[in-house]
Amino acid sequence: MPEKKTRLGETLADAAREALEARLLQEIRAAGPVPQHLAIIMDGNRRFAREQGLLVSLGHASGKNKLEELLDWCLEVGLRILTVYALSTENLSRDPAEVRDLMDLFEENFRKVGDDPRVHRHRIRVHAIGNRELLRPDVIRAIEYAEQRTKDYTDYTFNVALAYGGREEILRAIRALAQEVAEGKLTPQQIDEAAVSQRLYTADLPDPDLVLRTSGEERISNFLLWQVAYAELYFADVYWPGLRKIDFLRAIRDFQRRRRRFGT
């Protein structure tokens, strides 16, 4: 009997959550614009694995599965640009076995996303941002495969930040500008915000409207430092693999309720 009561309780809880998800989705669609560009710091794979008694590699695999779910949620609410923080430059100093497993995961899944019928049906352009020189050659080839297969799509954009660091990105832009000044192609007076933005990895994209970070940590962690200057921030107290659709919808609805202020 206790087991039946537990199952009944779980069924009722699932039904209540689904009803709340449906209501939130209806409110989002009625409320007006969703973020044009959502950036996500996918934090907590390793802690999720430890709490579940899993290998770290399985925590990362669970995080990959969650990202696939999230793509469907973004499509459902009409969110057109998604940038996710998958691997920082600092992460590359982790245990070599963990880094190897991550590289294997990236290589496999960029190949998959290049062939994913959902990607082609919705015309999603896939792009990796970061210092590719720090990645394995097979990962680079897989990235190029996905990018080449989706390069002409313009309906949606899916960016994956790999071997990425925000300060490194800004330094890269500064070096490019300094080189152009040295070559006489540009004067110092011509360097403005637009000039810097045009030399970032995200040069052809609008800045993020909303940054969502999981795991309960409340910091940016060197992610899109220039681009998120005026973004709204939302912190979810759940590890990335444990993010639920209702958590995602709450973040979007919270964004819609905010009164955005730029520079104040």
Distance of CA 154 to the CA centre of its chain: 18
Tokens representing 40 are: 């996500």
Cβ contacts of residue 136 below 8 Å, gap of 6+?
103, 107
C-alpha to C-alpha distance for 59 and 38, rounded to whole angstroms: 23
Active-site pick, 45, 72, 91, 237: 91
Active-site residue, from 14, 43, 45, 152: 43
Which residues, 6 or more positions from 204, have their beta carbon under 8 angstroms from its beta carbon? none
- Indicate if 43 belongs to the active site: yes
Residue type, 12: L
State the angle between helix axes of 56-77 and 2-31 in degrees (0 to 180), rounded to the nearest 10: 50
| Distance, CA of 188 to chain centre | 34
Q: Which residues, 6+ apart, have CB-to-CB distance to 245 below 8 Å?
A: 21, 69, 73
Residues 6 or more apart whose Cβ sits within 8 Å of residue 223: 39, 41, 85, 88, 161, 164, 166, 211
Cβ within 8 Å of residue 202, ≥6 positions away: 83, 129, 159, 224, 227
- Indicate which residues carry an active-site annotation: 43, 91
